[in-house]
A = this chain, B = another copy of it.
């Protein structure tokens, strides 16, 4: 390895284009959807009001319209109780017109998110976040992948990145990124490590990684001196810095060291949304078979 002070040939870093790849997938979906007689609909459960949530929903609405999927927002007041909300979600899941149901996260603090997520049945759980869907996923029997896993897999396939015989470091173990990714890697027979915010020496692991998948939501958490040259970085973290949506990776210092990197925005985000809609089409097809 070359110390950070020594002169070194810089690697020509390639930004994995999530926007372009998601457009390709959405174009394919649009054609597929036009051949389905039934109108597909995504139900989105939204509790309370908040700028980030509104932004996420706008993005989903735009994408849904573009591919020909209906989207129905079910808004609830912030102070709804867990029991009330579970009852309401049961009705929404039961509604035949809803092909799939998602709960927009984050939920207000007084609600137990996992308990709420468990009220979506696996047949309509396009986010793969309920306990039952996760159980099916762990044993390799779920029909769809968690969207972020689908997105990462799609990247690897599109850019022909061999991930099965590499050392992968997963940073964070949250419900939306680290946990589903780790559950996936368990099935994929990969060698991997899971780091947490409490890990005293993340760089010791990161420096050995062939592939880093990060989802901690801490701006500039991963810097150039922490990785080896030629590393592939999937930046699935999102946080806000100075009004901008940013990832976990400090792109300036990483420049010239990583071989591939997913930018934020325009990387894993749009592709994950595309995967959500692909999941919706898949479960609709499975149900009608």
Judging by beta carbons under 8 Å apart, are A136 and B131 in contact? Answer: yes
Per the 8 Å Cβ criterion, residues 192-234 of A in contact with B are 192-196, 198-199, 204, 208
Interface residue? A173 (CB, 8 A): yes
Judging by beta carbons under 8 Å apart, are B196 and A191 in contact? Answer: yes
* Cβ contacts under 8 Å, A198 to chain B: 165, 189, 191
Task: Give the contacting residue for A189; candidates B132, B190, B196; CB below 8 A.
Answer: B196
* CA–CA, A183 and B194, complex, Å: 11
Stretch at the interface among A3-11, A14-22, A137-145, A254-262: A137-145
Instruction: Give chain B nearest CB distance to A182 CB in angstroms.
Output: 6
Judging by beta carbons under 8 Å apart, are B165 and A186 in contact? Answer: no
* CA–CA, A165 and B201, complex, Å: 12
* Cβ contacts under 8 Å, A165 to chain B: 198
Candidate in A136, A138, A183, A185 with the most chain B CB atoms within 10 angstroms: A138
Interface residue? A63 (CB, 8 A): no
Judging by beta carbons under 8 Å apart, are B194 and A191 in contact? Answer: yes
* CA–CA, A195 and B193, complex, Å: 9
* CA–CA, A141 and B204, complex, Å: 33
* Cβ contacts under 8 Å, A183 to chain B: 138, 183, 186
Interface residue? A99 (CB, 8 A): no
Which residues of A are in contact with B by a Cβ distance under 8 Å? 114-115, 118, 130-136, 138-141, 165, 173, 179, 182-183, 185-186, 189-196, 198-199, 204, 208
Q: Provide a sorted-by-A list of 28 A–B residue pairs whose CB atoms are within 8 angstroms.
A: A114-B139, A115-B141, A118-B139, A130-B135, A131-B132, A131-B135, A131-B138, A132-B132, A134-B134, A134-B138, A134-B139, A135-B135, A135-B136, A135-B138, A138-B179, A138-B183, A165-B198, A173-B186, A173-B189, A182-B182, A182-B186, A183-B186, A186-B194, A190-B194, A191-B194, A191-B198, A192-B193, A192-B194
